Structure formats: C-alpha cells, structure tokens
A and B are shown apart, each in its own frame.
Chain A
C-alpha cells in the first residue's frame, strides 16, 4: 500500500534493500551478515556482535561512543546474533530520528550510518589485533550472557530442547556457541574470525526511511564507499537443510530447582509450503484461539501457557508449555491428541476462518512497524523467496482444510523434553 520495497545487488553476496514509507519518523539502517553456524566459529562470531558496536577506531571507549550517539538524539547502535536454520546471523543495527525532528535542524542520519559502518570498516585495533582490555571485558560479557540463560527458565528449556531436536545438525548449536568455546576465545582468534567474516559472509543491508532520495543518498554516500573498503572473497553456502526425523523419538528429562516444569515437544514434517505450515501452526497452537490454548489450557487447565512454533526452513513444529510436574504426562498426551485431531480432519470451519483472519490481520500490520518490515523482508531474502506480506495474504486465503490435514499428517513426534524440579519424579513418560 503505502510502503515500497526494492532490493538490488551491489557486489558478490552483498545486497541493498530499501523500504520507503512516507510517514516514518525514524530512519533505520541494518546490516545482516549471514554465515554458516559451526561449533568452531560460533562463539568467536558472537563475540564480534558484542565488541564491534561498542568501540571503534574513532571512538575507542564505550563512553565516547555512547556520548556521540546521545548527541545524535539518542541514535541507537547495537549488535545481536540470530540463529536462522543452519546459519548464524550477525545483525548490526542503527536507528535515529528523522533529521526534520531535531531541535535545531541538525543532520543526524548520515552520521549515524557512518558510525554504524565504521564498526566493520574501522574497528578498534591495537598491535594488529583487538584491544586487549576491552577484549577481556567483552569476552566476559559473552560468557555471562551464555551462562545467564538459566535465569529465564522458558528460554532455557527451549534452548536445551533444541540441542536434542537438531542433534547432529548445525541448528543444534546455540546462537552464541557453547560455553567451553566462549572461554577459549582469544583476541587473536576473534580478530581472525572478524577478517574471515567480512570476507565470506553474505550481506543484506537494509535502509528504512521516508524517500527515494534519502535511500539513494544513503547507498551512494555511505553504504557503497564503506563496503568497498571490505576485502571480499565470497562463495555461496548452504543456508538450510530440513531436519532429519529420529528413528525413535527422544525423551529427555532435565532436573533443576524450579517450581513450574517446562515441557517442549517437537514434530518433524515434509510439507514445504510456508503459508500452509504457517496456517497449520495457527490452527494448532500459535494463537489464543488455537486448539492448544482453547483445550489444553482453557478447558483442561493443564498448563499456564501452551504455544506452538513452526521453524519453516527446518520443517519442525515445536510446542512449548509451562506445566505442573504432576500434569506433564497428561499435558503431553493432550497436546498429541490435539495434533491427531487435525490429522483426522477435525478442523471446524470456524477454526479455519479464525486462524486465517488472525494471520491476515497480523500480516496487514507488518507495514506499520519498521522492525516487522525488516524481519519480514530479511526472512524472505534469507530463504531466497521474494514475497510481500500482501502476496502471502492472497495465498493464505486459498488454503483449504485438506491442505492443513495433509501437512499435519506428515508431522511425526521427534523429541520430548521436560525440565522439572529436582525433588519430584513427575512428568516421566507413561
């Protein structure tokens, strides 16, 4: 509607994406760097997401960089790590208010973007490697982050279940790598990882702003000159493979001192239509009106939350729930029953219509949020299947009950993971 999107290649493995929206009050510049997820490189790469956006050659201390960003009206600059299928994605993102909203007509956008790119083109280097003192702090911070996973039990359970669900595949590796590897990082190993990453990663640069003129200026004055400074040696790599179903489902019980247990179940299937899987997920468990919430939580009060997620590229439907230890086995059985019902074609017209309306509503909201726009279009770039949210809506409208039932029939139980209190015996399989 009021949003326009265009993607152009600027060099080998490097693309510029512009998203224009006339009323947007902020500008966003995001750099996504896609690289294979491997146990050897994951922690070094994750370290880079901590170090690079915090200090640069021009701003050699966190304080000096923070102060500069504050002057730019609280422009943000941050790094993060995503796991997408079998890849690790480093995201460096900056945002600032549009120049016309500053108090004294200051120009803040170009400067913000310049600093963002300088994280990659002019990082803080001492004696041919990363600054030793800041290295030590940032390494500790990465270790702390990996260790603090335990503070949030739901995330902890999902992450630990993931190791089993994707066992033997890159997707099993946590996005920040394993603790023992993070402990082994040296300034030299991290610097080597940096040099390798800027050479071999696939880049998707995103700009979100008001006008073509702004987007083209950004490309010609900031993005192209910066990227030219990076030595490139890019070869295509495999981004995703479908996860292999285990011959017999795994059953894992982990004990921890928790009051509420967490049950994670994973099913693997063959359906390769993203819209069908998305709708199936909505009917099954992604919404408050889904079978899982309406039955397992509302009707049977078996858990506090019970939600399903679909990992499209890996072909994995997982269910995540918070249960009382003594209800875990019952909840597992009931979750399984709800899926069986779908396989048997038990989807009411109401359920189908409501799942469609809800998905369509959510997709129509994508254009209202810069973050959602970036996530949507980056997701499509990653898969190599260009599609707008409007196009997805049209496909969803045509999906039938039979499509969902057929897709559900391919889903087979692969893993059951239970995190439970260390003093109880509840939740074991029947």
Chain B
C-alpha cells in the first residue's frame, strides 16, 4: 500500500494520502486539539455524468436526468435498515449531497468516530434498489424538485447555464425533473452504481480527531476491492458560443435577480486550478468591493451588497459569474462589459492586486482551521487531480501578468449571457 505525505512548507501543514489496495484513495488529516472528526466518502459522479461507458458496455449509454441525485437518496436505504438509523446509534450527524461533478456521503462525530466510519464505508457499498423502493422515492424527490422550483435564486443560475451551454449537461438541474425521474428503474440505478461507485473512482477524506492507522485498519476490513472497469464519462462536444444572450422570467421576488455568465474554454488538473484561481482574483479586481466598477455601481444604487462574483468550473465547463439583485440588471451588464473592454484595451487597474492576493491567501488559511473545510478541500483536490496545497502555492506565486493574460483570453463579452428573474407585476 502506497503512502504519501503532502507537505506545505509555507504553512507547515501536512496531510497523508494512502493508495489502498482496494483501489480507493484515502486522505487523512489528523488535527490537534480537536474533539470531532469529519469524513467524506465520495465518488466522482454528479449530475453531469449522464453519458458514460465501461468495459461492460459496447457503446456510450445515456441515462435519465437527475439519476445521480436519485441514487444518492436511495443509497441511504440498505436491505435491512436505513443508514440514518445506523448513524443514530453512534450519534454521528450524517448527510449527503450531489453536485454537478460529485456525490459525497459524510458524517461529523465526536464520539464513536470509527464505528461511524465503518457505517459510512459499509452503507455506500451496499446498494439495495427494488421497484417498490424506487417508486416510493419518486414522491419525496418530486417534492424536493418542486421546492427548488419555488426558489428564484436557483432559477436565476440555471437559466443562465441553460443559456450558456448547448450540450454540456451542466445545463440540467441536478435533481432532474418530475418527468425525467419517472424513467428511473432499479436496473438503471444498478448500472450507474456499478459504473461510478467503483472504488477506483472514489475517495475517502477524513480530518480532525483521527488516527490514520485506525482508518486503514477499518478500510482493510470493510472495503470490497473492485477491478477497474475503464470508466469513461464524457459530454457531447460543446460549441464555443452561447445558446442565447438573454433570458428573462418572472417569479415571487421583490427586486430583480440577475446572473451574468462568461463562457470560457475549460482546462484540467493544475492548469485548471490555476485558471480558476487567477480568474477568481481577476473577478475580484475587476468587480469586487475594492474595484472602481463596484464602487460606482454601488454608489448609483445599481447593485447592493448581494452582488458577488465566482468561478463555476469543472469537467468540461468553465464560466465566470457575476450576479446579485439590481433594479436595472441590463445597465449593470452594460457597465461590466464596458469595464472588461476597457481593461482589455488599456490594461487592468492593479492598485489593489497585493491586497486582494493577501485576502485570497488568508481565505485559504481560514479553510485549514476547520475539519469540514479541510476534508472538503482534500476530496475536491483529489477529484480535480491536484494536491491539497496547490491552491496555496498558486496564490502565493501569482503575478499581475498572469491576471492580464487571463483577462485577454478568458473574457469575451460576445460569449456571455444574462439571466434575469423579474418580480411579478401586481
């Protein structure tokens, strides 16, 4: 079994990676003076992985929208008992989530940490789907979908993604639709499970009050090795341009909500992380609270403090997002585009570069302070194919020239879309 220590000299931080013979990669971070531990057992499988093949299939297959999320719900139910009921006996607080590109099962516990870890590893490896249990879940998930339908902050994001992406499944709602989940069968669930819940496609990440040796002992005992089945998951080719430049809907909101997305070509691994980090810093310099753009939009009452920027990226997608509430979203868009064009032609204002860089660096140090964020960072890094401390080094070494270069190649106002949710006229 291979063991590797990741070390960051700048912060004196270390963590351990174990390549377990079962095929699973395990990341452990023992934290001093910590009573509790936080563990994530995840698969690189999210809503975007709706088209895939393994050595068992002759060709790519496409599965119904929302199936990864559905699978997450169903996995909590094993043949003899519910996983929540098992965690209730150890007192651990357990949960799970499905995002665009991963599904994670997690718990936080101060007592019975290793018993809880056994349950976590065990229930995720024990799928039990029958026609009856699958049908029952359709009601609960249908309600969850309806709840999201009432959430305008969710709608504003998905409408933007639908306008930016032609084919990439990131344009599809994570939970699917009431219609798409009606197509889910036990057979399809097993097919997806067998393809993506292969330990070679999974990571265990645990931080806090934890001893790496005991984690390995439990993994030796519980994990069922699975041969690598050569899993391939890929979206249909995605054009560079956007589907439409504008989308507007109405909903129960008080002030219009808006989201502007700038589409760019995605990169992977350390290059992808560098692109994400540099773009985040760029967005902050361009439109963050220390920028002149933010200052003027704010002073004119065009935006309020809900305005924020983020990079939304993953396998096959990369979009820079700016959004918030505004009484005149299109004017905000016009001003943002003008600021981008101006910076591209005349160079970017770098006055705040060092401050913003320090703020980002400080943000990463903050994440080292909590078991939750530590464990999350380790698992996300593993899925992205980077080391847990790469982000710290990228930030520490970033230069204004990196930002200028990024601005030139990453922001094309022609490849952007605005999504607006307007209040109902009463």
Contacts and interface: CB of A to CB of B under 8 A. Distances in A.
Interaction A to B: yes
Interface of A: 1-2, 21-26, 61-63, 66-67, 69-75, 96-97, 101, 103, 133, 137, 140-141, 144, 147-153, 256-260, 287-289, 297-298, 301, 303-304, 322, 324, 354, 357-358, 360-362, 364-365, 367-370
Contacts of A103: 10, 358, 361, 396
Interface in B91-137: 91-94, 108-112, 136
Given A97-B366, A148-B325, A74 B33 contact: no
B143 A324 contact: yes
B193 interface: no
A151 B153 contact: yes
Interface in B264-306: 288-292, 294-295, 298-299, 301, 304-306
A46 B363 CA distance: 28
B88 A25 contact: no
B352 A361 contact: no
Interface stretch (B144-152, B217-225, B310-318): B144-152
B369 A361 contact: no
B208 interface: yes
Most chain B beta-carbon neighbours within 10 Å: one of A74, A152, A303, A369: A74
11 contacts: A63-B292, A69-B359, A103-B396, A148-B255, A151-B252, A260-B146, A260-B150, A301-B139, A354-B91, A358-B93, A368-B34
Contacts of A260: 143, 146-147, 149-150
B35 interface: yes
A357 B358 contact: no
Contact of B146 (A1, A259, A370): A259
Nearest to A357: B91
Nearest to A63: B295
A61 B296 CA distance: 11
Contact of A304 (B85, B94, B147): B147
Q: How big is chain B's contact interface, by range?
A: 35 or more
Which 10 A-B residue pairs are closest in the complex by CB-CB distance? Answer: A73-B362, A74-B359, A357-B91, A364-B110, A147-B254, A74-B362, A289-B88, A70-B355, A361-B91, A70-B359
B304 A140 contact: yes
Given A74-B358, A140-B301, A21 B33 contact: yes
B35 A137 contact: no
Interface of B: 10-11, 31-36, 82, 84-85, 87-94, 108-112, 136, 139-140, 143-144, 146-147, 149-153, 208, 252-255, 257, 288-292, 294-295, 298-299, 301, 304-306, 325, 352, 354-356, 358-363, 365-366, 368-371, 396, 424
A287 B88 contact: yes
A70 B299 contact: no
Contacts of B370: 368-369
A141 B143 contact: no
A75 B362 contact: yes
Nearest to B305: A141
B369 A358 contact: no
Contacts of B369: 24-26, 370
Most chain A beta-carbon neighbours within 10 Å: one of B143, B146, B153, B371: B143
Nearest to B136: A301
Given A74-B359, A322-B143, A365 B108 contact: yes
A393 B73 CA distance: 32
Nearest to A356: B91
Contacts of A63: 289-292, 294-295
Contacts of B306: 144, 148
A189 to B, nearest CB: 21
Given A67-B352, A73-B362, A101-B365, A368 B255 contact: no
Contacts of B299: 133, 137
A153 B109 CA distance: 31
A420 to B, nearest CB: 12
